[in-house]
């Protein structure tokens, strides 16, 4: 029987190599492209009619839009938030589509790879840091000096603050990747139980798997939400300092 | 003629106020639940991330300055502190980030924001 970790293997479909770099079109590329195509198809189809009273299909993108818009407004702020809405929305949709498409049987979950989530997290981290320096210049560095702390403690507190700042992209990427990987491995393990236990007793793991699938659906949505929410918070920190 | 209309008006208002309190209740319940769930997901990773950053920095420092195990030891301890501090901030609601934000000010901001965020109670 296949290993439960086999689903995470990268399989190059069209081998390509440019300048010593392997840029093969793999299953990861395929599902990322599918995510983009599906997003455009969904939003395009939904927005074609532009009804005042949304139909079923129009409702889905509007729900996403309002959800993210509300989140950005609440965390980053009314005025500032508007400028960053496209960024946060893109991040949210990428993660959400990756998580949800990964739940389709035989698919590949690109958000379960630390390379993908790490790149996303570094993008968020880079944008937030750059934004801080652009907005506040070197005053941004005062961010690492906790207010209300005696100066005698600064030699300890500043390295701790800097590390706490540097740990952001790591926790952001590891959280998403680990959640997706753990969930998908678990699904495969229970599916494996079903296969080995036969038609009669295999029913129990299958029922459990059905429930776990529901849980995975929640996790997929929640992780996309958490990723976007933390993106908002990091942006807010860079804008407001403290 | 006006009697049934008044009656209807009263009924609608009743239902609306009931719906509103229900929504408020629901929203707060959902939100705290959401937040608890989100927090549970954040906290564990936060600690490990601090440790990893500390270890990585310590390793780099040791490599660069040839300071034996001391860079690693000190930085891992500090990284662990950073992780714990991140967890504390997340849990205490001080904002989940570098720097303390006055929780009172945050609460005030939230109350202010609550005025223009009525429209998003239906999104989960």
Cβ separation B98–A164 shorter than 8 A: yes
pLDDT for residue B118: 44
Which whole number is the average pLDDT over A143-150?
A: 80
Q: Which residues contact B15 (CB under 8 A, 6 or more apart)?
A: none
| A166: pLDDT strictly greater than 80 | yes
How many CA atoms lie less than 13 Å away from A168 in the CB half-sphere?
27
Q: Which residues contact A193 (CB under 8 A, 6 or more apart)?
A: A202, A205
- Min mean pLDDT across A10-24, A96-110, A178-192, B18-32 is at B18-32
In chain A, residues with a C-beta closer than 8 Å to the C-beta of B82 are 160-161, 163-164, 167
| B97: pLDDT strictly greater than 80 | no
In chain B, residues with a C-beta closer than 8 Å to the C-beta of A167 are 46, 49-50, 52-53, 79, 82-83, 86
Are B50 and B82 spatial neighbours (Cβ–Cβ below 8 Å)? yes
- The model's confidence at residue A224, banded by pLDDT at 50, 70 and 90, is very high
Which whole number is the average pLDDT over A58-73?
A: 90
Q: Which residue from B46, B95, B99 is facing A171, i.e. has the nearest CB?
A: B46
Spacing of C-alpha B72 from chain mean position: 32
pLDDT for residue B3: 75
Per-residue pLDDT tens for A122-142? 999 999 999 999 988 888 888
Across all residues in chain B, what is the average pLDDT?
71
| B121: pLDDT strictly greater than 70 | no
Q: Which residues contact A180 (CB under 8 A, 6 or more apart)?
A: A98, A99, A102, A109, A111, A112, A219, A220, A223
Considering just the CA atoms, what is the radius of gyration of chain A in Å?
21
| A95: pLDDT strictly greater than 90 | yes
Q: Give exposure, B93-113, as e/b (b: 16+ Cβ within 10 Å).
A: ebbbbbbbbeeeeeeeeeeee
- Min mean pLDDT across A57-66, A218-227, B14-23, B113-122 is at B113-122
Across all residues in chain A, what is the average pLDDT?
88
| A79: pLDDT strictly greater than 80 | yes
Per-residue pLDDT tens for B7-29? 888 888 887 777 766 555 554 44
Are A17 and A23 spatial neighbours (Cβ–Cβ below 8 Å)? yes
Could you say which residues from 98 to 117 on chain B have a Cβ atom under 8 Å away from some Cβ of chain A?
Answer: 98-101, 113, 116-117
Residue of B nearest to A159 (CA): B78
Q: Which residues contact A166 (CB under 8 A, 6 or more apart)?
A: B53, B57
Interface residue B61 vs chain A (CB under 8 A) = no
pLDDT for residue B23: 55
Question: What are φ and ψ of residue A10, in 5° steps?
Answer: -85, 125
Interface residue A241 vs chain B (CB under 8 A) = yes
Cβ separation A237–B120 shorter than 8 A: no
Q: How far is CA B124 from CA A64, A111, A214, B25, in A?
A: 10, 22, 15, 15
Cβ separation B99–A74 shorter than 8 A: no
């Amino acid at each position: 029987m296949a290993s439960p970790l086999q689903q995470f293997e990268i399989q190059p479909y069209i081998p390509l190599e440019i300048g010593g770099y392997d840029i093969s079109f793999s299953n990861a590329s395929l599902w990322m492209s599918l995510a983009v195509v599906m997003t455009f198809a969904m939003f395009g189809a939904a927005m074609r009619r532009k009804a005042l009273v949304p139909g079923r299909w129009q409702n889905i993108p509007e729900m996403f839009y309002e959800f993210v818009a509300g989140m950005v407004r609440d965390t980053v702020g009314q005025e500032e938030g508007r400028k960053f809405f496209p960024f946060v929305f893109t991040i949210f949709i990428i993660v959400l589509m990756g998580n949800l498409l990964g739940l389709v049987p035989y698919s590949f979950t690109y958000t379960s790879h630390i390379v993908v989530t790490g790149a996303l997290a570094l993008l968020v981290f880079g944008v937030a840091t750059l934004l801080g320096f652009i907005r506040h210049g070197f005053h941004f560095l005062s961010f690492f000096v906790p207010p209300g702390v005696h100066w005698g403690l600064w030699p300890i507190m500043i390295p701790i603050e800097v590390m706490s700042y540097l740990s952001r992209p790591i926790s952001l990427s590891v959280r998403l990747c680990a959640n997706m990987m753990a969930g998908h491995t678990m699904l495969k393990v229970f599916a494996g139980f079903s296969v080995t236990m036969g038609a009669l007793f295999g029913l129990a793991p299958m029922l459990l798997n059905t429930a776990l699938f529901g849980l995975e659906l929640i996790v997929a949505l929640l992780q996309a939400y958490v990723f976007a929410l933390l993106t908002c918070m990091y942006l807010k920190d860079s804008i407001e300092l403290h | 003629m006006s009697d049934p209309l008044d009656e209807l008006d009263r009924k609608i208002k009743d239902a609306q106020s009931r719906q509103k309190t229900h929504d408020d209740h629901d929203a707060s319940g959902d939100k705290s639940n959401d937040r608890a769930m989100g927090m549970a997901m954040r906290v564990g990773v936060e600690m490990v991330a601090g440790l990893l950053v500390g270890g990585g920095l310590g390793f780099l420092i040791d490599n660069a300055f040839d300071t034996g195990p001391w860079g690693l030891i000190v930085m891992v301890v500090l990284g662990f502190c950073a992780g714990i501090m991140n967890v504390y901030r997340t849990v205490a609601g001080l904002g989940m980030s570098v720097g303390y934000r006055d929780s009172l000010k945050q609460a005030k901001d939230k109350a202010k924001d609550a005025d223009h965020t009525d429209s998003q109670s239906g999104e989960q």
